[in-house]
Amino acid sequence: MPWKLGRSLVWDATCVDTLAPSHLPITAGCAGSAAASAESLKRRKYYNLASSYIYEPFGVETLGPWGPSALKLFKNILKRLVDTSRDQRAGLFLGQRLSIAMPYNVAMLPAFLVLSPLTSMRTNFSTLYVNSCFYFFLIMNFNL
């Protein structure tokens, strides 16, 4: 289904760890800077998609801030929801859904830390982080 100008939308969600040592210098100075950095890296990585698709990276940080492209896409989706449904509450519902799901995603990390020794898995923080991002997308897409 075309998104705009007859081209389909391709978006790539990236969940960035706000407190990672590699991001801490920039996140200490400006909220959302790690998400913005991840978005620009994704945009450079997939620059060749721009000729055929509308590509939007969607960067969020584990502590909540969103990147500029994520905010722009979210506002565009909200506008389309309200225009299609003619109900102002449709956009509010989506915003509430996201604001509940994202902290839940971060809150699940300690559970992985506790459960991993019990299952005798050798788990590192990157595995935990990937798992938590996976659960976030399950929650968002399948109403869990």
Show the domain range for 112.
9-142
In a domain, 134, yes or no: yes
Query: Would you state the pLDDT for residue 2?
Result: 75
pLDDT surpassing 50 at residue 5:
yes
In a domain, 74, yes or no: yes
Q: What one-character DSSP code corresponds to residue 48? A: G
In a domain, 131, yes or no: yes
Query: Would you state the pLDDT for residue 113?
Result: 47
Task: Count CB neighbours of 53 within 10 A.
Answer: 15
In a domain, 69, yes or no: yes
Q: Please give the tally of structural domains in the chain.
A: 1
Query: Would you state the pLDDT for residue 23?
Result: 84
Query: Would you state the pLDDT for residue 93?
Result: 76
CA distances to 69, 79, 81, 100, 143 from 87, in Å: 25, 10, 8, 21, 21
pLDDT tens track for 30-81: 888 999 999 999 999 999 988 889 999 988 888 888 899 988 988 888 888 8
Global pTM reads 0.66
In a domain, 3, yes or no: no
